[in-house]
């Protein structure tokens, strides 16, 4: 009897040990295989594609008119494999729009894909009804024609679909582009501004491809941010090289990925100058060696190039400030070769970057009339609520200054925070002065696990009680799952409805 019990106990122990060893083995295997690196593996055979500049026509009212069409495309990103894509007036991504402060613009956007979508102007200061958020639907076959006056400093803004629940999918397929803004001050600074020659857009996106060339939408095991691809495309070019012809090259970097955070560095650790953040030029250029950009963020940097140079822009293990396991499962240990820059013997010398760029009229804490708190939890909640298209979450008075306190209370995942219709300045990160590369106008900011970020903004004067602006996590899977809210901007003393009328505000034709 006793021996029988002993025998079963022994079997039991063996079985349990077997399960433990298997689980540990599986965990170790997933941990090890969750690290991605392409460093040293690319041939850099493909010339970097530069999105063409779209020439506007001028209408009878003197407005710059741009015509764009959402279309299906097919692209050979990887040799011999065809990938089905979306693009905007291009097989993948879009031509670049460019306008100057003071310009009145019209964009006619036609939907030639078989699904409803929207087109949002990320970083643009404009009326809510022109913003292209989830309320401004463009049905298949229809044209939406927003119009507004450019009334903000020179900057690198971008555009992408914003259909609620489908944003990640639409952006991942390739619908996105740049809208570059100029102004008098920046034109006079003599910065590198020869588009495609020494002023280079870099739209950085990660992708995964299936064997047949199609894009893979699969999330990695244990990741809670959505798609983290193992290949990088720059302006839709895989394994790209760029031939520099000047001793300084300005890079306008946009993280247009759905979830991935990058830490941009050169393989020889050369330093470069940061000249602009999301919303425009910084006051004084900052010399840095690495730069963290979460999805939706932009930065402009100026890189020194020597004769016969060869240098690789990489992303090196972005510090997500996560516990080691989510650091690993959310891409924090990944390293990528992104773009090779080469040069010949003869370089055109460009003027040095001025040590003063612009004077920023910062919003002042002494002007603050309201402080709001936003707590991002799980993968879908802001202040405990999921996005509701008919609910107004916040009411802001036009022309006033507010502090927004952004909190990610948990360790489980990273977030970031983006607001439409405004630019903000970062007052502190975890109670400390923000890093140098955040000291400029921002519209999107990284929110690390157990992180707190305080921002201050002056709201514009575009008033609308029925059409809201969005604020949300720009990890697009989180946004689609509901990590988004709405605010309206009203005149002083107004008492607006907190429920929006449920008709849609689209004026398609």
Q: Which residues contact ligand C2O (rule: CB under 6 A)?
A: 120, 122, 160, 162, 296, 418, 420, 470, 472, 474
Nearer to Cu ion, 122 or 170 (CB): 122
- CB-nearer residue toward Cu ion: 199 or 402: 402
- Binding range to Cu ion, per CB under 5 A, among 72-80, 119-127, 215-223, 345-353: 119-127
Q: Which residues contact 133 (CB under 8 A, 6 or more apart)?
A: 118, 120, 162, 420, 468, 469, 470
In angstroms, the CA 242 to CA 85 distance is 24
Question: Residue 23: is it exposed, middle or buried by C-beta count within 10 angstroms (0-12/13-18/19+)?
Answer: exposed
Q: How far is the CB of 111 from Cu ion (least distance, A)?
A: 19
Q: What minimum distance in Å lies between the beta carbon of 383 and ligand C2O?
A: 18
Which position's Cβ is nearest ligand C2O?
122
Residue 372 is encoded by which pair of tokens?
A: 């709001």
For Cu ion, the binding residue among 202, 274, 438, 473 (CB under 5 A) is: 473
Q: Decide which of Cu ion, ligand C2O, none touches 260; Cβ closer than 5 to 8 Å per partner kind.
A: none
- Closest separation in Å from C-beta 162 to ligand C2O: 5
Give the span between the Cα atoms of 18 and 333, in whole angstroms: 30
> With CB cut-offs between 5 and 8 Å by kind, which of ligand C2O, Cu ion, none does residue 220 bind?
none
The CA distance from 426 to 497, in Å, is 31
Q: Please pick, from the candidates 49, 98, 110, 122, the single residue that binds Cu ion as defined by CB under 5 A.
A: 122
Least Cβ distance, residue 283 to Cu ion (angstroms): 24
What is the x/- site pattern for Cu ion, positions 209-248, by CB under 5 A? ----------------------------------------
User: What minimum distance in Å lies between the beta carbon of 296 and ligand C2O?
Assistant: 5
Binds 476, which of ligand C2O, Cu ion, none (CB < 5 to 8 A, cut-off by type)? none
Biggest CA-to-CA distance, the chain = 101
CB of 392 to Cu ion, least distance (A): 18
Q: Which does 473 bind (CB under 5 to 8 A by kind): ligand C2O, Cu ion, none?
A: Cu ion
Among residues 238 and 418, whose Cβ is nearest to ligand C2O?
A: 418
The reply to whether 478 sits near Cu ion by the rule CB under 5 A is yes
Binding partner at 296 among Cu ion, ligand C2O, none, C-beta below 5 to 8 Å by kind: ligand C2O
Task: Render the burial of 241-258: b for 16+ CB within 10 Å, e for the rest.
Answer: bbebebbbbbbbbbbbbb
Of 206, 214, 268, nearest in space to 231 by CA:
206
Q: How far is CA 200 from its chain centroid?
A: 17
Q: From the list 420, 439, 458, 472, which residue makes contact with Cu ion (rule: CB under 5 A)?
A: 420
Secondary structure of residue 460 in the 3-state scheme: coil
Residue 233 contacts which entry, Cu ion, ligand C2O, none (Cβ below 5-8 A, type-dependent): none
> Which residue from 49, 98, 415, 439 is in contact with Cu ion, where contact means CB under 5 A?
415
Q: Which is nearer to ligand C2O, 101 or 162 (CB)?
A: 162
Q: Is 5 within 8 Å of 12 (Cβ atoms)?
A: no
User: Minimal distance in Å, beta carbon 207 to ligand C2O?
Assistant: 18
238 binds, among ligand C2O, Cu ion, none (CB under 5 to 8 A by kind): none
Judged on CB neighbours under 10 Å (0-12, 13-18, 19+), 146 is buried
Nearer of residues 136 and 241 to Cu ion, judged by Cβ: 136
The listed partner (Cu ion, ligand C2O, none) that binds 415, CB under 5 to 8 Å by sort, is Cu ion
Element (H, E) at 22: helix 2-33
CB 301 within 8 A of CB 309: no
Min dist. Cβ of residue 285 to Cu ion (A): 26
- With contact defined as beta carbons under 8 Å apart, do 301 and 293 qualify? no
What distance in Å separates the CA atoms of residue 127 and residue 105, rounded to the nearest whole number? 13
- To the nearest 5 percent, what fractions of the chain are helix, strand and coil? 15, 40, 45
What is the closest distance, in whole angstroms, from the C-beta atom of residue 212 to ligand C2O in the complex? Answer: 30
Closest separation in Å from C-beta 338 to ligand C2O: 21
Query: Judged by CB under 5 A, does residue 49 bind Cu ion?
Result: no
Q: How far is the CB of 78 from Cu ion (least distance, A)?
A: 30
Minimal distance, residue 389 CB to ligand C2O, in Å:
14
Q: What HEC string does 395-439 produce? A: EEECCCEEEEEEEECCCCCCEEEEECCCCEEEEEECCECCCHHHC
CA 115 – CA 487 distance, rounded (Å): 27
Segment interacting with Cu ion (CB under 5 A) among 122-130, 186-194, 258-266, 455-463: 122-130
Nearest partner of 281 among 422, 418, 419, 185, judged by Cα: 185
Residue 328 contacts which entry, Cu ion, ligand C2O, none (Cβ below 5-8 A, type-dependent): none
Contacts with Cu ion: how many residues (CB under 5 A)?
Answer: 6
Nearer residue to ligand C2O within complex by CB, 97 or 286: 97
Residues 6+ apart with CB under 8 A from 336: 36, 37, 38, 39, 206, 232, 262, 314, 315
The contact set with Cu ion (CB under 5 A) reads 122, 415, 420, 473, 475, 478
């Amino acid at each position: 009897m006793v021996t029988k019990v002993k025998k079963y106990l022994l079997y039991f122990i063996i079985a349990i040990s077997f399960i433990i060893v298997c689980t540990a083995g599986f965990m170790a295997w997933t941990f090890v295989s969750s690290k991605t690196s392409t460093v040293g593996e690319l041939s850099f055979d493909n010339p970097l594609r530069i999105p063409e500049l779209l020439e506007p026509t001028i209408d009878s009212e003197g407005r710059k008119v741009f015509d764009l069409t959402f279309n299906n495309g097919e692209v050979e990103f990887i040799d011999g494999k065809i990938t089905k894509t979306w693009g905007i007036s291009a097989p993948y991504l879009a031509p670049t729009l460019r306008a100057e402060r003071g310009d009145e613009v019209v964009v006619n956007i036609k939907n030639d894909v078989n699904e409803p979508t929207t087109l949002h102007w990320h970083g643009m200061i404009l009326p809510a009804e022109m913003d292209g958020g989830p309320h401004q639907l463009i049905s298949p076959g229809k044209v939406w024609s927003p119009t507004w006056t450019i009334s903000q400093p020179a900057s690198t803004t971008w555009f992408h679909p914003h259909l609620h629940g489908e944003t990640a999918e639409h952006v991942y397929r390739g619908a996105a582009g740049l809208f570059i803004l100029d102004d008098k001050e920046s034109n006079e600074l003599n910065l590198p501004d020869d588009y495609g020659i020494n002023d280079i857009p870099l739209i950085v996106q990660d992708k995964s491809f299936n064997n047949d060339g199609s894009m893979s939408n699969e999330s990695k095991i244990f990741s809670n941010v959505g798609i983290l691809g193992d290949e990088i495309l720059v302006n839709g070019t895989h394994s790209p090289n760029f031939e520099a012809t000047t001793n300084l090259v300005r890079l306008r970097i946009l993280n247009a990925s759905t979830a991935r955070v990058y830490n941009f560095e050169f393989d020889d650790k050369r330093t470069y100058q940061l000249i602009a953040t999301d919303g425009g030029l910084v006051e004084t250029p900052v010399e840095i060696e690495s730069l963290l950009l979460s999805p939706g963020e932009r930065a402009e940097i100026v890189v020194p190039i020597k004769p016969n140079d060869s240098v690789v822009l990489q992303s090196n293990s972005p510090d997500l400030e996560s516990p080691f396991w989510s650091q690993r499962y959310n891409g924090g240990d990944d390293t990528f070769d992104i773009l090779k820059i080469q040069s010949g013997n003869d370089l055109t010398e460009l003027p040095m970057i001025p040590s003063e760029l612009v004077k920023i009229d910062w919003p002042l804490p002494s002007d603050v009339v309201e402080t709001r708190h936003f707590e991002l939890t799980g993968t879908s909640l802001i202040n405990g609520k999921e996005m509701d298209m008919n609910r107004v979450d916040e009411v802001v008075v036009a022309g006033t200054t507010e502090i927004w306190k952004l909190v990610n209370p948990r360790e489980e995942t990273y977030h970031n925070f983006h607001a439409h219709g405004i630019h903000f300045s970062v007052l502190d990160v975890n109670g400390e002065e923000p890093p140098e590369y955040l000291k400029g106008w921002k519209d999107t900011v990284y929110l690390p696990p157990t992180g707190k970020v305080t921002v201050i903004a002056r709201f514009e004067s575009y008033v609308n009680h029925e059409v809201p602006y969005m604020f949300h996590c720009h990890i697009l899977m989180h946004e689609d799952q509901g990590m988004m809210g709405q605010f309206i901007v009203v005149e002083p003393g107004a008492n607006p409805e907190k429920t929006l009328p449920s008709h849609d505000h689209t004026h398609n034709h």
